[in-house]
Structure 1
Amino acid sequence: MDVLEKALLVDELKTLVDGLNDDKTSLFEIAKSKQRIKDICASCDDPHFQDQLTPYKEFILNEEFSSDDLAHYGYAITYRGTYNFMGRVENALFASADMGWAALRQAQHWQVWVIRPALSFLKSPWLNSAQDALLWLQEHASEYVKTDHELQNLIPVLEPIQAATEQQAASKDSLSIIKEQTAKFQSQLDAIIQEKIQPAQVTASIQAATRVKPSFRSGTRPSANLNKAKPLTLNDFNLDGLLCKLERLDPRTFPSLYRVDLHNDIDQNIKIDWLYLKAENEAQPLWGSAQIFIAEQLYAQGQFSHYVVLVGTHSVEYATTILQAYTDQRHTRTSSIHQTSWNNFKQHYHQHETLFNECIMNGTLVWQRDQRVYPYIPASFINTQKFIPFEETAATFFTPVILLRERQKIRVIHGLERVKLSNEDQAYPYLLLDRADGYTWQLIRQVISRLPQPISVHDLYQALENSALSESS
């Protein structure tokens, strides 16, 4: 290989790595780039050129925390993996019971997620290296994650197993470790490529396993398996112009219900799970009059999580049943369900703020869990500076904040104790007052001065309502 060929390969490697660092690169393109880098590495046997390729090899292999770093900081036992998508981080941590941590990686940045009691998360800021992430974990998450040493002291029976594992790992030479890593990487790469270039197939063995066996004691004939002819996955499905993949969720309970995975990488600041009810005759809804149902999702302790949306039906009762059944199987619960038009949702779903304004506030509330449930407003809407200082009672994540809308601004009247609970909340439960309805600053000061402190949110809200009514009468 001459100098020119090597120079061209180096330039190609730089381009490939730049593509891997791009957040908008698809999984298929990532797989192709990694395979090309592997091919280049395999074709170059010049020792000097191999030294030049070392940084690129490290980039490919360094997708997770190294075992040495995990052992050094003492967080190997509770480590649940590194992922590129928030949903996968959540699933990994929800499966780890009461203790565990994982990392979200975007390009060369890391964010540590730690699961807390009641299935909530402690999240780090974006960090520049795996070592920074482990250091943050050590300094800020000791309340929720125990070190390997602490766990071994709690469970002494694990010590001989751990010691044997370490001794066995130490006995391996570097060549065998490299071979194992290469084989693991190759299998992962092949799986990604196969997933992207081949449609999902239902094998005959799986169909045979799911076939209902007839009962010899019964005279009734077994019912036909109507679901086996339906595909489990539909690639490149066109949902009113949105290219997506459909994946069936529960063939037995809801045979026509699919999860929607959008192909195009959308720049949105709120997590949305999409569900689609597919008609038996393959006909899509009349999009001009189609409706969509938006379910607000909360963690068990009351923090806002995300939205789940359902399209494909006009029936409020059916939509409510499906959304509750879907979310009850997961680690969040539905707080309320709003209905709006598909065209309205499609225009505004990219941003949390516009989705809330146009689809929640201007939508129709069709179901809520109980009368004590409050809507959740995006945190970016709120000016958290409180203009009238007073002592508040203690708050929980379910405690609403009292807000005053004044022209284009929304200010906090009561709720600093609620806001202090977490600086990561995307939305807060709220009670909204409007300056146009007579809630002036003078009235609010008078009401607060008459109430004994600390003041609860419900006492203040009730007193303000009563005072506003008496002022208007």
Structure 2
Amino acid sequence: MNALEKAQLIKELQQLTRQLEYKALPLYEIARSKKRIRDIFDLCDEPIFRAQILAFKARTQPELVAYQFSENTAYHLSFRGYFIESQVLEKALYAYPDSGWALLHRPEHGWQLWLIPAPHSPALHSPWAELQQCYIWLLQQQQQSACLKEDPPLLTVPALSLNEAESSLKVEEKSKYHRGQPRAIIQVPESSHPNEPATQVKTLLEDLNPHPETETISHQEPGLAMELIQFPAEIQIGSMIAQVRSLGLEEANIQRLCALELAPDDGHPAYLDIALYYAAEDNWQARQVFVAEQLNLQGQFVKYLMLLGVPSQLQAHYCIQHWLAQHQRQAAAIKSLAWSALATSFLQVELFSKAYLQQAETVWTSPDYYPFIFSHLIQKQKFILFKEAAADFSTPILLLQEHQKIRVIHGEARISLAEDELAYPHLLLQRDKQLNWQNIHNIILSMPQPIQVMDLYREIQAQMIE
């Protein structure tokens, strides 16, 4: 890639960033801009572009950038995580006895780096700034108080000489036939003849294992041993008590995953699965909540999955992937937000959905993602009659919100696919002075029918901008 191409990509990134900062940008344009930014990242030579694209990645994937940034510092083992709520961040910092640091992110302000300079001391934090400036502040604090321990150097294994390598291969070739030979478990029946010689049993053992002196016992590596998890019978979630159901998992990275079910008297919400990555220290409230929109294999919305207690985005990926596979589902999107945003609202579908749509940060979305809206929140009868193009389960419905009502502009064909659906993918427009039913009607009359939903959406957006 030559210098001119790099300059053009940087210029395009700047334009896309300005578009994302435009608050009234429609959801379709936001998704398209973010996808183009990711495409540009894939084209870039990471070492060359790292300084230029860090700020852009921080806008679209802030949590991922935070963890990648910490891995490139000398204090990664003291890093306590990425947060969007200062109170949750402080709890996480104070939960560890040693000094540590964490990152607070708010899109409108930027980044703050929080630091506990000594055990049980009040936390300090940097001014709002970019990540690099925050890290410079950390280095200044470290120079003054030496509060953080540097990560130990990585162990390096010296290379074998040619003779050593050949000897090692010969030993491996000789021993591989004796490794991991299964042992037979012999159950000797009680003899009804007390004087029966024991040599028969000895001969049987020798036949099963003719060369016991050459057998090597294969020990399981400690890191692969199955951990015995003692799940509690119940756990408190907000003001509710949930029953803990073990999933009996053996894979090391998801052994702690369990399902939570509210007591019958409380009523478990039909729109929500709840899972917990259990840890005995019981500090899951301080960790980010990951919420996935679950679809069946046809692409219809089933319910949300609310995953609690995972220590990292990578761990959330493992748990959600397993959950979806076990239930034969797929994800439309995964987002994260603080538990404080859901603690009092997860039992009310409108409040839960509002928090998810307005407060959560996007972790991942499918390529053609549209957020889902619950069917009972909309008036399904179409206000303006016209012929729509054919639809499938991935087709969004186009809605107009006016006061407290949400009406369908385009979506009759999509809704008719299955009338008992819980939620639909959607695009939402707000009625104002520039957009009303008369404007929409005039736009529809000017378009050839049948009309595709995205064509109508783009035409309305174009008319609003003019």
So what's the TM-score if we normalise by structure 1? 0.49
So what's the TM-score if we normalise by structure 2? 0.50
Larger radius of gyration: 2
